[in-house]
Amino acid sequence: MIPRQAQASLHQLAGWYPAVAIIGPRQSGKTTLARLAFPDKPYVSLENPDEQDFARQDARAFLGRFPEGAIIDEVQRAPALFSWLQEVLDADRRTGRFVLTGSWQPGLRGGIAQSLAGRVGHLNLLPLSMQELLEAKLLPATLPECLLKGGFPPLYDRAIPPHVWFADYTTTYLERDVRQILELRDLGAFHRFLRMCAARTGQLVNLSQLAADCGITHNTAKSWLSVLEASYLIFLLSPWHRNIGKRLVKTPKLYFLDVGLAAWLAGQRSEEAIALGPMRGPLLETWVVSETIKTLRNRLLPHELFFYRDAHGREIDLILEVDGVPRLALECKAGETPAADWFAPLARLAEEIGAARAAVLFGGDRDQPRQPVPAIGWRNLPDWLAGAMG
């Protein structure tokens, strides 16, 4: 069992709220974390048909079995629970009584917003971070292997080959669950949509082109993309502007929150394919963005993330903003040997936007103290992020 950094945050939330909701993609480790963090709580899963039927038919009696609270897994399977849970929590305001988990945010969001607002603390749990893999001594030996595997726990607990596990994951979870949410009739079109999104990870979202390539309408593409985002499978990174209003209307970039899933959907089946192919750069960038998001969410940090692109095409891949001030500007380069022209343009852009620190994250193993900004080896990303976030 791999220890999770989010466990401390989970206990913190349980000390503040009557209930805590652990939300994230399927197989990210939500149930394992809940049971590890609260070993004395009764556990019930609404994936069990009998329990699900009981919760739907008689929510009051279902909850009556747990006067001291419980872990309720996949709680969105029984929407009737939310109203009754509100009554239970209001009658006894002790903190940390119930721990709720859910894989698909659209089902949870409505129930929590309508019935449990202010009563539930939220923890977004994503797949394993690089820091967690380092501490467990499970970090892949090479960058291509790291990009190929991603962070889903079963790939490390059971040593399943990535191409086998991701094929089953896509069929068993993504297609089944998303089909239920969207009431899909053409599963083939949705599968093409997933693959096209993966091929565009790290790129600006172009809904019209994406829809045309998948043979669907613009509105369908927009709806499907929203579901993937709400389900913690992708992240839309907004552009940085001094004018906050512009951030909301400008085109975002699309990133998968697990680089291994992005690699598999994009047709990458081996380390060699990633090391020598055109997806190495976009996948590295995807991995850096997802690792930054994991670090923030595991620690309940409120910082915001952006990218920067000006009218001349000059870019910064990732900007970490704290209290409205850019703290870190990070550029991602897949090459294993730093090039001389990487550093000065980033330093100038970082100075123009007022970033306190800047660095180039590259595909080599070790840091290099270049000027005017340092080159950070991929293995040292966790330390650099921790230092930047304070």
Span 159-196, pLDDT tens digits: 899 999 999 999 887 767 777 777 767 778 888 999 99
Inside any domain, residue 287: no
| 324 and 203 assigned to the same domain | no
Alpha-carbon dihedral sign for residues 316, 320, 323, 326: negative
| 338 and 364 assigned to the same domain | yes
Query: What is the pLDDT at residue 63?
Result: 96
- Higher local confidence (pLDDT), 168 or 303: 168
Closest CA relative to residue 348, chosen from 324, 312, 381: 312
| 250 and 147 assigned to the same domain | yes
Q: What is the CATH number of the domain that holds 87?
A: 3.40.50.300
- Kindly give, in sequence order, each residue whose CB lies less than 8 Å from that of residue 49, ignoring residues fewer than 6 positions away: none
Q: What is the mean pLDDT of the chain?
A: 91
Closest CA relative to residue 266, chosen from 289, 287, 282, 290: 282
| 266 and 167 assigned to the same domain | yes
| 160 and 184 assigned to the same domain | yes
| 314 and 255 assigned to the same domain | no
Inside any domain, residue 294: no
Q: Which range of residues forms the domain containing residue 378?
A: 301-389
| 142 and 266 assigned to the same domain | yes
N- to C-terminal Cα separation, the chain = 28
DSSP string spanning 221-287? Answer: HHHHHHHHHHTTSEEEEEEP-SSHHHHHHSPPEEEES-HHHHHHHTT--SHHHHHHSTTHHHHHHHH
Query: What is the pLDDT at residue 248?
Result: 54
pTM listed for this prediction: 0.94
Confidence band, pLDDT 50/70/90 cuts, at residue 105: low
| 134 and 271 assigned to the same domain | yes
Tally of domains in the chain:
3
How does pLDDT run across 210-228, given as a tens digit for each residue?
999 999 999 999 999 998 8
Neighbours of 122 (CB within 10 A): 16
